[in-house]
A = this chain, B = another copy of it.
Amino acid sequence: MEANGSMTPQNMTDVPWLYDVNLEDTNWIITSAFMIFTMQTGFGMLESGCVSIKNEVNIMMKNVVDIVLGGLTYWFFGYAMSFGRSPMNNGFIAFGDYFVDPPLDDKLKGAVYAAFIFQLSFATTATTIVSGAMAERCNFKAYCIFSFLNTFIYCIPAGWIWGNHGFLRQMGAVDIAGSGAVHLIGGSSAVACAIMLGPRLGRYDNGIKPLPLGNPVNAVMGLFVLWWGWLAFNSGSTYGLSGDKWHYAARAAVMTMMASFGGGTLSILYSLIRLGGKLDAMDVINGILGSLVSITGGCFLYKGWHSLLIGAIGALLTCISMPLFDMAGIDDPVGASSVHGVSGIWGIIAIGIFAQNPYPLKTTSGRSGVLNGGGWYLLGVQSVAAVSLLTWGICSSFVLLWCINKIVTIRMKVQDELLGADLTEHFVRHGNVGVSRALSALRSVYDTSEIEKLEGVGYNPGHDLNLDIVKNLTTKKKYRLSQVLRIITKNRKMGCNSPRSLIRSRKFKSKMNCSKAGDKKNGTQVNGIPDNKPGFIRPLSTTDTNVTHLAWVN
């Protein structure tokens, strides 16, 4: 069944490899795509766990934008640039198949949809890689434009290596699951973006020591989610199970784990040695991710020992290059340049050294790496691929960001950076992270009226009035609990809380006066909170205003 069940290229010579799938292959491809999409959760948690708390919501929203706008353009023209079927295709770019949508009488419709969902999961991953490198200082609107157009940066080189037209593919370059097309492109784009944006304010005031993570538990959780998603990423890249593909799908899964074991062990040792017996979470997280990036390109071409070694070297390159970027003044908050860029290069090169020819699959066009007696050709062509992808990733990102910068300044305003993007872009006010201090410093020159009114995360301001009622009634007038609660409940039912009845009610006007008074009072209190107190717990106010206010309740 395995031998006959798949539509082999011999049977349907005009079907591109991308659409040469049957039911079982499609099951594998779609299931893998679903699991690959979970990597977005991983990237989101990793990045939001790595940045400072006052930017954590902003980076999550950027991850959402990556999927939405990046996905939209991928459908518009991205897929077309990588896999379009047009006679105009050349080695650099493909055309046709814009707005992918095969009609229902297309016999390949299932294959096309499966290919699109699978490639889409890769494309959104590639886009998201860059968001971490731009964290904490990139203007949100500029980032939206970047997400929208980042598709160019990824899809053209993805076509080089995976499209039938691509010049790297035609030279015989191999990149099974995207060490190059996904990670090296993403990583080199990250370098360019980090350079263009410049370091975060005050980043290097205390040397190149990394800033503290905002939520290390979330960051490690992000690692975990990425790790398991990576299994589908690599294993799904056999692009099916039929024929002998299932053997190699299983091998890809094993070798992915083996590389992470090698990389994990190496990065644990590296960190323990570097810090005199302590373990830095970012070393381990990024080391493991670097090893996963390294194995991605040739995931089912390696032996176990080789995978261990490739992962270990990938992790080492990531760990060593992180401080080097900082020494060069390139501020990459999550280390995307090292993880995806540096280890991505290694992942492409490693194929030329260690690859075995996975017969009967034609993945390597029958070639092997240097260590398996395949000679130097594969290593040479892989080096060409690495250089091409690196050059493209850096140059295209520079050009794109330079253009965007002409429309919207890509760097956040200084005051927004000091206040944090969560507050200035999303009206989310965190406590205990220096926001009150920044507000205090900026207050005299910056209109903070809107921000001062914001309540802190997870704090229910509506409870304050009711607590004041309780306080007043119990301390001054000696009511009992049942009486107090009856008043509050009556208060609630009389529509004090309902905007509908509030508008209809004749008490509307007096109510409005009350709540305006309350607002002004609140505002003043927020202003009055000294910087060394948690910003969100207001002192009790038992002023006469409230007692007057309560008059109508009784």
Pick out which of these stretches binds chain B: A166-174, A391-399, A499-507: A499-507
Q: Does A113 contact B (CB under 8 A)?
A: yes
Q: A258-B75, A426-B216 are in contact. Are A202 and B460 (CB under 8 A)?
A: yes
Q: What B residues does A532 contact at CB under 8 A?
A: 533-534, 537-539
Residues A536 and B432 in contact in the complex (CB < 8 Å), given A44-B220, A425-B279: yes
| Cα A251 to Cα B111 with chains together (Å) | 10
Whether a CB of chain B sits under 8 angstroms from the CB of A224 is: yes
Chain B residue nearest to A471 (CB atoms) is B441
Q: Is A526 an interface residue (CB 8 A)?
A: no
For A290, the chain B residues whose CB sits under 8 A away are none
Kindly state whether residue A207 has any CB partner on chain B within 8 Å.
yes
Q: Mark A510-554, 1 if CB is under 8 A from B, else 0.
A: 000001001100000000000111101111100000000000000
How long is the Cα–Cα vector from A114 to B481 in the complex, in angstroms? 54
Is A246 in the interface zone, CB < 8 Å from B? yes
Q: Knowing A99-B304, A117-B250, A532-B533 touch, does A216 contact B68 (C-beta < 8 A)?
A: no
B212 touching A459 by the CB < 8 A rule?
yes
Q: Does A86 belong to the interface (CB within 8 Å)?
A: no
Quick check: B61 and A284 within 8 Å, CB to CB? yes
> What 0/1 readout, one digit per residue, does chain A (455-471) give for beta carbons within 8 Å of chain B?
11111111111111011
A462-B200 CB under 8 A given contacts A44-B220, A327-B500: yes
Most B CB within 10 A of own CB, among A30, A67, A199, A235: A30
A91 contacts partner chain B, Cβ-Cβ < 8 Å: no
Cβ of A18 within 8 Å of any chain B Cβ, yes or no, is no
Within 8 Å of chain B (Cβ to Cβ): is A438?
yes
Interface residues of A in 191-237 (CB under 8 A from B): 198-208, 211-218, 220-221, 223-225, 227-228, 231-232, 235
Cβ contacts under 8 Å, A457 to chain B: 53, 212-216
> Are B33 and A253 in contact (CB-based, < 8 A)?
yes
Set of chain B residues within 8 Å of A434, measured between Cβ atoms: 459-460, 463-464, 467, 536-537
Q: A23-B2, A500-B327 are in contact. Are A225 and B41 (CB under 8 A)?
A: yes
How many Å from the CB of A84 to the closest CB on chain B? 15
> What are the residues of chain B within 8 A of A499 when measuring CB–CB?
204, 207-208, 326-329
Query: Which of chain B's residues have a CB closer than 8 A to the CB of A280?
Result: 426-427
- Residue of A37, A224, A278, A427 most packed against chain B (CB within 10 A): A224
Partner of A204 from B258, B415, B497 at Cβ < 8 Å: B497
Please give, as numbers and ranges, the residues of chain B lying within 8 Å of A264 by CB-CB distance.
64-65, 67-69
A300-332 at interface with B (beta carbon < 8 Å): 303-305, 326-329
Q: Which 10 A-B pairs have the closest CB atoms?
A: A202-B462, A68-B264, A110-B247, A214-B458, A53-B458, A113-B250, A329-B498, A445-B481, A101-B304, A60-B220
User: Can you report 22 A-B residue pairs in the complex whose CB atoms are below 8 A from each other?
Assistant: A23-B246, A44-B224, A65-B264, A68-B268, A68-B288, A72-B265, A110-B246, A202-B461, A204-B499, A204-B502, A212-B454, A278-B424, A413-B485, A432-B432, A433-B459, A434-B537, A436-B537, A437-B467, A440-B540, A441-B468, A441-B540, A445-B470
Known: A198-B492, A418-B463. 18 other contacts (CB 8 A): A1-B1, A27-B27, A27-B246, A33-B231, A34-B35, A44-B224, A45-B217, A60-B217, A61-B279, A67-B264, A71-B261, A101-B303, A205-B461, A211-B460, A211-B462, A212-B458, A441-B470, A532-B538
